[in-house]
Amino acid sequence: MLYHRFAKDLPFSEAEYTRRLEKTRTAMERSGLEVLFVTDPSNMAWLTGYDGWSFYVHQGVIVLPDADPIWWGRNQDANGAVRTVWMGDDRAIGYADNYVQSTERHPMEDLAQRLIGMGLERARIGVELDNYYYSAKAHAVLSQELPDATLLDATALVNWQRAIKSEEELVFMRRAARISERIVDGLVERVEPGVPKNEVVADVYRDALTNLDGHWGDYPAIVPLLPSGSDAAAPHLTWDGEPFKEGEATFFEISGCYRRYHAPFCRTIFLGPPSDLFRRAEAALVEGLEAGLEAARAGNRACDIANALAAPLESAGIERGARCGYPIGLSYPPDWGERTISLRSEDETVLEPGMTFHFMPGLWMADWGLEITESILIKDDGPAETFCNRPRKMYVKE
Amino acid sequence: MLYHRFAKDLPFSEAEYTRRLEKTRTAMERSGLEVLFVTDPSNMAWLTGYDGWSFYVHQGVIVLPDADPIWWGRNQDANGAVRTVWMGDDRAIGYADNYVQSTERHPMEDLAQRLIGMGLERARIGVELDNYYYSAKAHAVLSQELPDATLLDATALVNWQRAIKSEEELVFMRRAARISERIVDGLVERVEPGVPKNEVVADVYRDALTNLDGHWGDYPAIVPLLPSGSDAAAPHLTWDGEPFKEGEATFFEISGCYRRYHAPFCRTIFLGPPSDLFRRAEAALVEGLEAGLEAARAGNRACDIANALAAPLESAGIERGARCGYPIGLSYPPDWGERTISLRSEDETVLEPGMTFHFMPGLWMADWGLEITESILIKDDGPAETFCNRPRKMYVKE
């Protein structure tokens, strides 16, 4: 394993990348895969260190059982690969630019030729079938160009290896959490009736990106979400130029990001005296969160968190009808979740120390919404640790 | 056509959405499609107004020849759809939350049932095979669940309808261009040796988002790219906490965004006296840009721009080896291009008035890079108009 941390400013130690590659190879072997073609940018980065906004073209990492991974992508992006991956420069290979968004040729033709050149034309090759960055067309072309190979669904195979965080990763998530706290502190200070939303988002980005405790901030995989009033019924609206209004609740779904690691954190701010409805919902939600944190311990299951949350909400007559969380860590747009475990009643995955989740019981009702959430770490013993430490409540500014 | 502009703050007039839908239906008919399932968030927004960061789950718009489009997605996001699309509320339909990132069921099973319920089980259905938001798995499940339907590749069918901008769209792009100019002005003022990159990016976001001429700023589909020195060989690196350095060039690839419309704009800043190499490259690049702008006229072809650019670069001994531009307009992450025309020697698409491109002849060489670009509009007569108006040069701060 060639490794160039200092010249390249790689985020992690050689031992950490070795650990990741070995876990992945073990999972490949268990799935009977001779090769794994990884297109999820988060998986690419987790395995190799690759970092760049090039995922709008076809690219990937080829994981082999017995040789260093190969970064494959557009020629011009191989320049970014040799600057960011731990492997030697000869492990970054590019395809010609006229494969990009062409109607005559497809990058997967190039990939197929590379694999054939490596003697893998009859291999059992894992591909991430259900991923943003592996399109139906990519799969069709790769299948056609490799008629003797067996392409197998390896969706989330690497994502599952990411579930338990190393100490090195937790350092990054804690840095992200400090940023998340700073963003929420700033929101509580600045959100007032009459202040336009876009101006507040500019301040969110300042708090997200400028140095904190000597560390720089990275872009989060999801932009800030901050719908108000009846729009807060919709979980994924972004912002506009409207002012915040007296008598309205706004939820803020944000995350600090340190070198692609996230600690999502949501709080709601009510301007003016809240209605009884909001007060009752807040009380039930906070009770549910605390019950969920108690249940979020090693040996329990994902569904235990969801069920613990549901009880007080049901007592208050609130039916959510949605999962209440997902694993978090390293991510690229469009999602900061890991897309493996879901905190919901049907998911019986056993919780293990080092797993990290966004415990995210957003309430999105017919004409109002409320978000109070925590990013959490499953500990060896006892209830989950929250990454952020701020009052678990709806903030009211009267 | 039901239409609710004022209650919903739709960005465009009813006439504009009617125009778009009619163009799309004509293209569907020409391709023999009875239904079109659109997953590209940019196409979804262009057709219906839908706006929200929900594209990390499976969703789409069903376009029919004889009835209003249907927004289909996750239940909770239907709340966002009824708030942002021009169609009536009954045209937003959702699937249950336990379809999200499940290993037991897939959202495309729900979609198939919906289409069957509409009597479309034997229809010729267009799908966007090569799109980030239509995965190989989505296609496999939809094909399996609709054994009697014919699924046809409609990649970029809607994107092509977007190529020629309406006057309403051009208003938005000009607003985006004012933002792009403000960002570049701020960079030229603030970038100095010793200033950390992440601090400068925070200012970029401030200039991108805060009000300008009474209009708010939206998030661009690509984050700022700003590699320095030898890292500028790599076109898609983002930022870190390192300071800008004397003796280094940094290119800044940014775009203002007004309600999802972009006007990308790149300039390079050299700190200290530039080498002859940079001066010669700048001169050849500016000459190539000006030749390209002259060639960018209605009736000429996309390749004419590329060839006009190439001549002075070749004279200077610079071989680019990459396309030099792409269409722009409405976009969501991860790309602000429209993925139809490419400005390159093999693309013979005839240029028409109202087409808009990012004329993007970035130079990414072995150990340096230089970007000077223009977003352009093809006019009825004469050379292209640039959206931004700033000196076409490498900025030198000695």
> Which tens digit of pLDDT belongs to each residue from B158-217?
999 999 999 999 999 999 999 999 999 999 999 999 999 999 999 999 999 999 999 999
Strands B261-271 and B249-258: antiparallel
Residue with tokens 């979740």: A337
For residue B196, the distance in angstroms to the closest alpha carbon of chain A comes to 9
Q: Is the pLDDT of residue A344 over 90?
A: yes
- Interface touch A238/B53, C-beta < 8 Å: yes
Beta bridge partners of A215: A212
Q: Assign domain A14-161 to a CATH class.
A: alpha beta
Residue B226 distance to chain A (closest CA, Å) = 11
CA–CA separation, A96 and A105 (whole Å) = 11
Beta-carbon contacts of B398 under 8 Å, excluding residues fewer than 6 positions away, are: B272, B273
Give the pair of three-digit tokens for residue B293: 């702008």
- Rounded Cα distance between A199 and A191, Å, is 10
- Cα separation, A55 vs A107, whole angstroms: 13
Contact flag A337-B218 (C-beta cutoff 8 Å): no
pLDDT at A5: 63
Option in A79, A211, A238 nearest B241 (CB): A211
Q: What is the pLDDT of residue B8?
A: 83
CB-CB contact of B255 with B180 (8 Å): yes
The pLDDT tens digits of the residues spanning A48-102 come to 999 999 999 999 999 999 999 999 999 999 999 999 999 999 999 999 999 999 9
Phi, psi of A94 (to 5 degrees): -120, 155
What pLDDT is recorded for position A386? 98
**Contacts of range B109-113, beta carbons closer than 8 Å, 24 or more positions apart:** B109/B141, B109/B145, B111/B37, B111/B58, B111/B60, B111/B72, B111/B142, B112/B141, B112/B142, B112/B145, B112/B146, B113/B145
Which residues on adjacent β-strands are paired with residue A355? A164
Answer whether A216 sits within 8 Å of B237, measured CB to CB. no
**At B95, is the secondary structure helix, strand, or coil?**
strand
Residues of B within 8 A of A202 (CB-CB) are: 205-206, 208-210
**B133/A136 Cβ within 8 A:** no
Nearest to B53 by CA among A223, A317, A298: A223
Per residue of chain B (398 residues), give pLDDT as tens: 667 665 788 999 999 999 999 999 999 999 999 999 999 999 999 999 999 999 999 999 999 999 999 999 999 999 999 999 999 999 999 999 999 999 899 999 999 999 999 999 999 999 999 999 999 999 999 999 999 999 999 999 999 999 999 999 999 999 999 999 999 999 999 999 999 999 999 999 999 999 999 999 999 999 999 999 999 999 999 999 999 999 999 999 999 999 999 999 999 999 999 999 999 999 999 999 999 999 999 999 999 999 999 999 999 999 998 999 999 999 999 999 999 999 999 999 999 999 999 999 999 998 999 999 999 999 999 999 999 999 999 999 99
User: Mean pLDDT across the stretch A207-220?
Assistant: 98
Q: Which pLDDT does position B366 carry in this prediction?
A: 87
* Maximum alpha-carbon separation in chain A: 70
For A27, the token pair is 């999972």
Residue numbers in A near B209 (CB within 8 A): 198-199, 201-202, 205
Taking CB atoms and an 8 Å cutoff, what residues of chain A touch B323? 97-98, 100
Show the 3-state SS of chain A.
CCCCHHHHCCCCCHHHHHHHHHHHHHHHHHCCCCEEEECCHHHHHHHHCCCCCCCCCCCEEEECCCCCCEEEEEHHHHHHHHHHCCCCHHHEEEECHHHCCCCCCCHHHHHHHHHHHCCCCCCEEEECCCECCEEHHHHHHHHHHCCCCEEEECCCHHHHHCCECCHHHHHHHHHHHHHHHHHHHHHHHHCCCCCEHHHHHHHHHHHHHCCECCECCCCCCCCCECCEHHHHHCCCCCCCCCECCCCCEEEEEEEEEECCEEEEEEEEEEECCCCHHHHHHHHHHHHHHHHHHHHCCCCCEHHHHHHHHHHHHHHCCCCCCCCCEEEECECCCCCCECCCCCCCCCCCCECCCCEEEEECCCEECCCCEECCCEEEECCCCCCCEECCCCCCCCEEEC
From chain B, the residues in CB contact with A225 under 8 A are: 53
Cα angle: A301, vertex A304, A309; to 5 degrees: 145
Q: Which of A209, A241, A321 sits opposite B75 (nearest CB)?
A: A321
Q: Cβ contacts (< 8 Å) between B56 and chain A: which residues?
A: 132, 222, 334-335, 337
- pLDDT at B280 (0 to 100): 97
Enumerate the residues of chain A whose CB falls inside 8 A of the CB of residue B104.
346
Asked whether residue A6 carries a pLDDT value surpassing 70, the answer given is no
* Max Cα-Cα span within chain B: 70
The alpha-carbon gap from B374 to the nearest alpha carbon of chain A, in Å, equals 20
Neighbouring-strand partners of residue B377: B356, B385
Query: Is A77 in contact with B236 (Cβ distance < 8 A)?
Result: yes
- Note the CATH architecture for domain A167-397: Alpha-Beta Complex (3.90)
Question: Which residue in chain B is spatially nearest to A151 when comparing CA positions?
Answer: B136
Whether ipTM > 0.95 holds is: yes
Q: Are A223 and B219 a contacting pair at CB < 8 A?
A: yes
Which token pair is B171? 């208003």
What is the pLDDT at residue B332?
98
Mutation for testing the B interface, residue in A137, A260, A348 having most B CBs under 10 Å: A137
Across the A:B interface, residue pairs with CB atoms under 8 Å apart total 230
- Give the best residue of A143, A236, A254, A260 to mutate against chain B (max B CB count within 10 A): A236
The confidence score (pLDDT) of residue B5 equals 62
Enter the DSSP assignment of B122: T
Pick from B76, B102, B321: CB nearest A364: B76
Q: Say how far apart CA A163 and CA B270 lie, in whole Å.
A: 43
Contacts 24+ apart (CB under 8 A), A37-40: A37/A61, A37/A62, A37/A63, A37/A111, A37/A125, A37/A126, A37/A127, A37/A128, A38/A62, A38/A63, A38/A128, A38/A158, A39/A127, A39/A128, A39/A131, A39/A133, A39/A134, A39/A138, A40/A128, A40/A131, A40/A132, A40/A133, A40/A158, A40/A159
Question: For testing the chain A interface, which of B55, B205, B336 should be mutated: the one with the most A CBs within 10 Å?
Answer: B205
**Minimal Cα–Cα distance from B391 to chain A, Å?**
27
**Residue in A with minimal Cα distance to B363:** A76
Contact between A4 and A10 under an 8 Å Cβ cutoff? The reply is yes
Find out whether A173 and A387 touch, Cβ atoms under 8 Å: yes
Mean pLDDT, residues A210-223 taken together: 98
User: Given an 8 Å threshold on Cβ–Cβ distance, is A238 in contact with B51?
Assistant: yes
Q: Cβ–Cβ of A216/B210 closer than 8 Å?
A: no
Q: How far apart are CA A98 and CA B359, in angstroms?
A: 16
Q: B137 and A127: CB-CB below 8 Å?
A: no
CA–CA min distance B219, chain A (Å)? 8
Q: What is the spatial distance between Cα A98 and Cα A101, in angstroms, rounded to a whole number?
A: 8
End-to-end CA distance of chain A: 60
Strands in B325-327's sheet, in edge-to-edge order, are B325-327, B356-359, B374-377, B385-386
Q: Where are the domains of chain A?
A: 14-161, 167-397
* pLDDT tens digits along A260-305: 999 999 999 999 999 999 999 999 999 999 999 999 999 999 999 9
Taking an 8 Å cut-off on Cβ atoms, the answer to whether B237 and A52 are in contact is yes
Q: What DSSP state is assigned to residue B118?
A: T
Q: Give how far A282 is from chain B: nearest CA, Å.
A: 20
Partner-chain contact B138 A127, CB within 8 Å: no
Predicted TM-score (pTM) above 0.95: yes
| Residue A308: C-alpha distances to residues A6, A267, A347, A361, B180 (Å) | 46, 21, 14, 11, 49
Instruction: Using alpha carbons, select from B59, B258, B276, B63 the residue that is nearest to residue B157.
Output: B63
Contact B241 A130 (CB under 8 A): no
d(CA B197, CA B315): 35
Q: Do B346 and A135 touch (CB under 8 A)?
A: no
Question: Which of A46, A332, A165 shows the shortest CA–CA distance to A38?
Answer: A46
A126 close to A156: Cβ distance less than 8 angstroms: no
